[in-house]
Amino acid sequence: MAENDGSGAAEKLTFLLVGAGIGATLALLFAPKSGRELRGDIADYTKRGVDAAGEQARILGGRASELYGTAASKASEAYGTAAGRVTEAYGTAREKVAAGAGTVSEVAARQKEQIAAAIEAGKQAYREEKRKAGVAGEGEEA
């Protein structure tokens, strides 16, 4: 938006200077002076107009340079802040994922132990039933 304000001000200044130049030229043309004096006056006014336009251009250039510097520093600051936040968020997420992976490993290890214990209990129960069936089967034959 500041860019539009600057170009609008430069445009208005240009129109002002052009209008002033045209007005001064017309005033000189209708003034009762000799040709040599008139040409000298036109040259003086033109030089003043060119000098004024150059000075205004330097001022606007300086202001534009300042605005660019300010915008660049703010953008750099915002980038640094954003980069810091992203790095921080990444570190936090990484820690949470690592903690979650540790928890999952612990749960898996516990379940593995429980499953192994259940399998061993099943085997033991099978052996016990087989032994009972074997003892009962021998008793029937006898």
pLDDT tens-place string over residues 95-135 = 888 888 888 888 888 888 888 888 988 889 888 888 888 77
CA angle 38–11–51, rounded 5-degree value:
40
CA distance 131 to 138: 11
In a domain, 70, yes or no: yes
In a domain, 132, yes or no: no
Query: pLDDT (tens digit, 9 = 90+) per residue, 38-66?
Result: 778 778 888 888 888 889 889 988 999 89
The pLDDT value recorded for residue 142 is 43
Task: Tell me the DSSP string of 98-139.
Answer: HHHHHHHHHHHHHHHHHHHHHHHHHHHHHHHHHHHHHHHHHH
Residue (of 64, 73, 67, 24) closest to 46 by Cα position: 24
Q: What domain count does the chain have?
A: 1
pLDDT at 140 over 80: no
In a domain, 141, yes or no: no
The pLDDT value recorded for residue 115 is 87
In a domain, 116, yes or no: no
Query: pLDDT (tens digit, 9 = 90+) per residue, 89-98?
Result: 888 888 888 8
